[in-house]
Amino acid sequence: MTNISDLEQRIQQLEDQQAILDLKFHYLNACDEKQPEQVLACFAEGEIDIDFGHIGRFNRREDFVALYTELACRDNIVDMHHAQNPVVTLLGPDRARAKVALRFHSIDTQAKTSLQLGGHYLDEFRKDNRQWFITKSHFRVNSVVMSDFSGEYNKVIYTGNSMPA
């Protein structure tokens, strides 16, 4: 028979896993909705580890959000992050990691180009004062399609399993 303490622990683990997923989805929605202050709030204060490959590496959330704001928070940029297949692993009461697949589509209405990426996030999380924060986020690309729709027809300009050099 399961005792109350075991049930409380199992419920807490389920709540923590859901809170981590909610945080990740909040981050992706904030990116799409061009809300840099909300993006910033998803990451832990202090030193963190962000590696987004072709976009760059960052050890402070403020540096990442500054670049995000410059690149994405423009009227001509339409971004769509679609997360799927999440796997969250709790490493203790205040630590966790997750792998989340991502399908990303970005449209530049001014340059008349689009970018589709597939890949996955490898993230780590820390719980401070009953709230989860991202402490590490690495994105690995595994598919790319770049298109130009400035002419009469949509033209694929690059496909591959990594970003072009």
Distance (Å, whole) CA 97 – CA 50:
14
Determine the pLDDT at residue 123.
98
Average pLDDT of the segment spanning 142-148: 98
Residue 74's identity, in one-letter code, is R
Domains parsed from the chain with CATH numbers: 4-160 (3.10.450.50)
Complete DSSP assignment for 63-84? HHHHHHHHHH-STTEEEEEEEE
Token couple for 164: 């072009």
Q: Is residue 41 very low, low, confident or very high in pLDDT (cuts 50, 70, 90)?
A: very high
Question: Is the per-residue pLDDT at 77 higher than 70?
Answer: yes
Q: What is the pLDDT of residue 113?
A: 98
pLDDT tens digit string along 83-105?
999 999 999 999 999 999 999 99
The three-class DSSP label of residue 45 is coil
Task: Indicate whether 24 pLDDT > 70.
Answer: yes
pLDDT in tens, 57-71: 999 999 999 999 999
Give me the percent of the chain exceeding a pLDDT of 90.
96
Given phi > 0 = left and psi -120 to 50 = alpha, else beta, which region is 56? left
User: What is the value of pTM for the model shown?
Assistant: 0.94
* Encoded amino acid at 102, one letter: L
Q: Which residue has the higher pLDDT, 4 or 160?
A: 160
pLDDT at 128: 97
Tell me the mean pLDDT in the region 79-84. Answer: 98
Distance of CA 28 to the CA centre of its chain: 5
Supply the pLDDT for residue 165. Answer: 85
Please check whether residue 81 is in contact with residue 88, taking contact to mean a CB–CB distance below 8 angstroms: no
Q: Is the pLDDT of residue 153 over 80?
A: yes
Residue 1 has pLDDT above 90, yes or no: no
Closest CA to 116 of 128, 105, 102: 105
